[in-house]
Structure 1
């Protein structure tokens, strides 16, 4: 029997049953929409169905099991938990033999579910009409905690912390608790870098025993998000987001779809044009098999951009751009990160979020191609991804008014990237916008990793290795770089100390000294802040470059020092290092 149907609808004979198998047998029935009233509708097919009210989608039935139970269910929101969309007046927007597109209306825009006769799940997309300036815009499921016990990201595949652990721990900051044994629980440990590089889509979700059974042979269920296209997601190559977690008040298993997110960024406000469409992406139910969902990812990727999807804003009007980037010293910009985004924007590539975005990497010879780009004019950016050629390049390549037209490739030819064109004396860490290579850096996301970093650290150029430098600094104390010079100061007396930070969280300040003389500072309140370090980030947040002149005569023949002396400290705050380099003017 179909459990969620009201008896009146059942007697009307609209639909008879929901099958109980994840592998459908033809001939299937068509997807359906049953309007209970203007504020409640039931949608589904022969294999699943959900009851959607004004705010929440509940009673998600799959194999005759409710996957929501006492949890909140499905909803769409912006500004965090402050503004949930009120979705009403469900209608069949478009129907073909292959799919049924069901639309729900809200003041802010239109949310669509696209169902097929056999798909366990649905494609979803949202068309903006009147969203305010947004930082976060998301869809999500809050599902039954006894069925969805595991969380899967690109970094973690493990049990979500039980609610009992959270209730028995001490809250120490935003959604972060400390157990009696000193270990931490935080939802941000389940953050990850988003799968938004061209041709590299991934998936994430929650899974576990279908009926909440603890038996070894229990039947499983999985709920997943798959984004075959990623141009509607904000940010650049280093975009990271929270995507699954345990809800700390109710214990719901949370599957987040942050289609416009800013959890690890300094700027969070974007004015989104009327008609921007997020999606379509696939929400997918299966038997919890990771192998199955991986195969589904490949299938979706091959179909992008989806032929079945039509809109009024040029979804299929796409072209490509290609070119070669060469540094001003003649070397190819090997493996440079290439970004196509807002035209004539003063925002960083990570902070851009109003329109559509494309990311790729150049090959070893500096060539790049970006395909399936919507028609329009774009701003092109390239920045260092580390490596032998680009490890010291701190400048950013910029080119505006890059145009794409449907069915055409815009060949840009050879593009010249002007570097800082200085002679390097020494460097700690590659410029790649990550803390890669430093002590304690790297996946997975983990709260409190910076607690491993010492207050004082001595680094000797020519003797110490990058792995001797800690990935973060926050404690009261000094990181000292010692280096020896020969006759060079007499030949080139002035220098620049470049300090590239992979992230910065306000609350920690430092003075920078060369041979005991202050040449600058990293000061809380003057550097744009983002919550990366205290939200479990271990590689990056948002990148900053600061350059500090060293006057002639300050450096001398023999032993010299550069010191980063922390004078103000706040627990869990501070910065992650990307690179430190001394160059001659």
Structure 2
């Protein structure tokens, strides 16, 4: 239900703010479940679950919203039972709020508007998402900003006559949609994000991302109407055991006067300071680095490859890893890569194509047992990435990069309902049609057909009559409840993330089919993808289609 948010009287807010002026850094317990903390620039009133009051620049910024809280997997919100100053320096205090699952810390410096935050795990259950966020007064915070968007947040008045069509998504009378998921983005590409207005801004800055789960393609919500940013992402749909003692953060929650340029400047400063020297945890400070040189077995450098440092168990795909700490980068044009400030420990190393010069490579590279020691750089020389030898490729549609970029409507920005612009039926002719004629998403009941001509000479490339062709299908994402049949010349081959505004990728899936040579013929052949069951806004997001002789 949409709630009306009432702006707290500025007169009342100014009076309360005055009570805490000139106190310096402080934590005060009001009763068994209420605490107040902050500095001379701002202060927060924390209750058992919600931080219900936030005073800054003479105003109260929460209003009748719920304020700040932390939780996991829906509304399993953490309940704080005690608070204490756990450490202090000349110009800061570290305030820890304890609960059964762990401890959330607010590190408050003398002259900083805002605080660093980090969470130390004690007994979190297996979970799929952990988050912390602010719900603030929407009359004060009018715009949302990510690295992809900077625009007004939907006004509450728009919801009054709109029709709710799915979670947090409404359709207006003119047929357009408003949804919080349009403000999602790729977590490892963020600079800073937040909500702001003409007087106030609330921002999150994450200079370090090793506590994020998953790989380069991890995405989650940043900000929305009635909500400031704050999700710490985990892969939805698959719960992950959490490492005892794991620390998420620190990140910076910043308050300012609503100036985007100021938040940008602060983000640059935080990046230069990370990892933060004031966090005295030995495991946090124990860091090394790694460099490597990756080449394909056919002699090519792994130019632009996505590189991921993750779990030792390389049988577990990177997209669902979330127990420990994770690092991402891309190889240079010569296949060299490097990672700095890696926590000491043993890791698995992974790499895959990110398109461009490796757009035809669908195999992955992995190597377990990479040891990182404090203060040293681990050198990984002559890493060989095995790829099929002497491939006889018949055709390729789309670069293999686990993304729908290059197809019609594929790529940024996020926008709900665009998959419905894809046709139910489509014909693509190899050698005549272009990649942009293939749509990024297929969902409606109907058939998309690829026509390709095989001459006698091409058929002979396949070898003797016992050989087969391999059809490789790479899906940038898939939303359940939609079914597809795959056929070659009307012979069935088998049964091989759209609804939340994504247009680039979801959770990648890869499937291969063996096509007997006898199923192919000289002349015109037709490869068909037929959707037989459709659920609105759910279906297949395409990445690449490859047909080659085995």
Provide runs of 4+ in structure 1 moved above 3 Å. 1-7, 15-19
Q: What is the SS of the residue equivalent to 2:271?
A: helix
**Aligned counterpart, 1:102:** 95
Residue 193 of structure 2 aligns with which residue?
A: 204
1:316-331 aligned at under 5 Å gives the runs 316-331=285-300
Aligned partners of 2:11 and 2:42: how far apart in 1? 10
- Contact kept, 8 Å, 1:326 with 1:333, in 2: the verdict is yes
**Distance in 1 of aligned mates of 2:159 and 2:214:** 32
Look up the match of 2:353. Answer: 384
2-structure distance, mates of 1:467, 1:402: 41
Q: Is the 8 A contact 2:195 2:229 kept in 1?
A: no
* TM-score, normalisation: structure 2: 0.94
- Compute the displacement of 1:566 (Å): 1.4
- Structure 1 position 256, deviation (Å): 3.0
Q: Tell me, in whole angstroms, the C-alpha distance in 1 between the residues paired with 2:308 and 2:87.
A: 35
Displacement, 1:316?
1.0
CA contact (8 A) 2:14 2:58 kept: no
**Residues of 1 paired with 2:324 and 2:11: CA distance?**
42
Q: How is 1:421-460 mapped onto 2 (pairs within 5 angstroms)?
A: 421=389, 422-460=391-429
Superimposed CA distance per residue, residues 50-75 of structure 1 (whole angstroms, 9 cap, x where no aligned partner): 10111110220111100001110001
Is the CA contact (8 Å cut-off) linking 1:31 and 1:117 kept in structure 2?
yes
Q: Within 5 Å, which residues of 2 pair with 1:87-486?
A: 87-194=80-187, 196=188, 201-209=190-198, 220-246=199-225, 253-262=226-235, 265=236, 267-312=237-282, 314-388=283-357, 390-421=358-389, 422-486=391-455
In the other structure, the counterpart of 1:511 is 485
Deviations 1:306-363 (A, max 9, x none): 1111115x11111111111111101001010000001114322111111100000000
Q: Shift of the alpha carbon at 1:151? A: 1.1
Q: Does residue 69 of structure 2 align to residue 75 of structure 1?
A: yes
Q: Distance in 2 between matches of 1:259 and 1:491?
A: 51
Does structure 2 conserve the Cα–Cα contact (< 8 Å) formed by 1:138 and 1:261?
Answer: no
- Give the 3-state SS of the residue equivalent to 2:21 in structure 1: coil
Cα distance, 1:244 vs. partner?
0.8
> Structure 2 CA distance, aligned partners of 1:396 and 1:382?
6
Q: Distance in 2 between matches of 1:156 and 1:385?
A: 23
Question: CA, structure 1 residues 16+177, in 2 after alignment: closer, same or farther (shift >3 Å)?
Answer: closer
Task: Give the Cα–Cα distance (whole angstroms) in 1 for the partners of residues 95 and 110 of structure 2.
Answer: 13
- Any conservation in 2 of the 1:30–1:116 contact (CA below 8 Å)? no
- What is the Cα deviation at residue 16 of structure 1? 5.5
Distance 1:268 1:154, change over 3 A: farther
C-alpha distance in 2, partners of 1:31/1:483?
Answer: 72
Q: CA deviation at 1:88?
A: 2.8
Partner of 2:512: 547
Aligned-residue offset at 1:6:
11
Task: State the alpha-carbon separation in 2 of the partners of residues 317 and 176 from structure 1.
Answer: 44
Q: Residues 100-133 of structure 1, C-alpha deviation per residue, up to 9 Å, x if partnerless?
A: 1111110100110000110000000000001111
Tell me what 1:18 maps to: 21
Between the two proteins, the alignment pairs up a number of residues equal to 535
Seen in structure 2, the aligned counterparts of structure 1 residues 550 and 568 have a Cα distance that, compared at 3 Å, is same
Tell me which residue corresponds to 2:545.
580
Q: d(CA) in 2 for partners of 1:509 and 1:79? A: 28
Query: Distance between the aligned counterparts of 1:508 and 1:350, measured in 2?
Result: 22
- Check conservation: 1:460, 1:481, Cα contact below 8 A: yes
Distance 1:147 1:309, change over 3 A: same
Distance 1:18 1:380 in 2: 51
Distance in 1 between the 2:238 and 2:531 partners? 28
Distance 2:473 2:164 in 1: 34
- How do residues 524-543 of structure 1 correspond to structure 2 at under 5 angstroms? 532-543=497-508
The structural deviation recorded for 1:268 is 2.7
Q: 1:545, 1:471 → 2: CA distance? A: 16
SS in 2 for 1:102: strand
Deviation of 1:5 after TM superposition, in Å, equals 11
Q: What are structure 1's unaligned runs of at least 5 residues?
A: 20-28, 210-219, 247-252, 523-531
Q: Which whole-Å CA distance do the structure 1 matches of 2:168 and 2:527 have between them? A: 38
Q: Within 1, Cα distance between the matches of 2:125 and 2:14?
A: 36
Deviation at 1:392, TM superposition (A): 1.2
Aligned to 1:23: none
Deviates more, 1:557-566 or 1:459-468: 557-566
Deviations 1:464-521 (A, max 9, x none): 1110000000111111111112212123152101100000111211211112211223
Contact map agreement 2:14 2:59 (CA 8 A) in 1: no
2:7 — aligned with what? none
Distance in 2 separating the partners of 1:462 and 1:485: 12
